[in-house]
Amino acid sequence: MATLEHPRPEGLLHNPAFSQVVAAAGTRTIYTAGQVSIDERGALVGAGDLAAQTAQVMRNVGLALAAAGATYADIVKITTYVVAYKPAHRAIIGQARAPFFPKGTPPASTLVGVTALALPEWLIEIEAVAVVD
């Protein structure tokens, strides 16, 4: 596992849902494609349910990372794309995502509201960057 540091920059808000900065030392960087809420057969999981789709997306991120020898603990940065984003969505996404980062040191994170994703039934897409030794 890589060495990850989560400094708390003076003058920036400390938020338990994400880290403002993550410093990583490792020998291998892993980039996942944006993951969406489909199972291994391509079937939608959680139609119309942002929390259910977020959980499935995070499971898919984990599967992608595992294939490259990484885990959620190795993630240094995630980018989340949400269709028709509203401020109330942030709490829903945060609750669904939290169990995947139990140590209290979540990755750096960006959330972007978008008009649409590749298919209309997809509500959320998440991509990750991880660093491992």
The domains located in the chain, with CATH, are 30-132 (3.30.1330.40)
Answer for the pair 24, 3: CB distance below 8 angstroms, yes or no: yes
Mean pLDDT of the chain: 94
- The fraction of the chain above a pLDDT of 70, given in percent, is 99
Beta strands 28-31 and 3-5 are unpaired
> What would the mean pLDDT of 18-37 be, rounded to a whole number?
91
Q: Is the pLDDT of residue 1 over 70?
A: no
Beta strands 75-83 and 28-31 are unpaired
Confidence of residue 63 (pLDDT cuts 50, 70, 90): very high
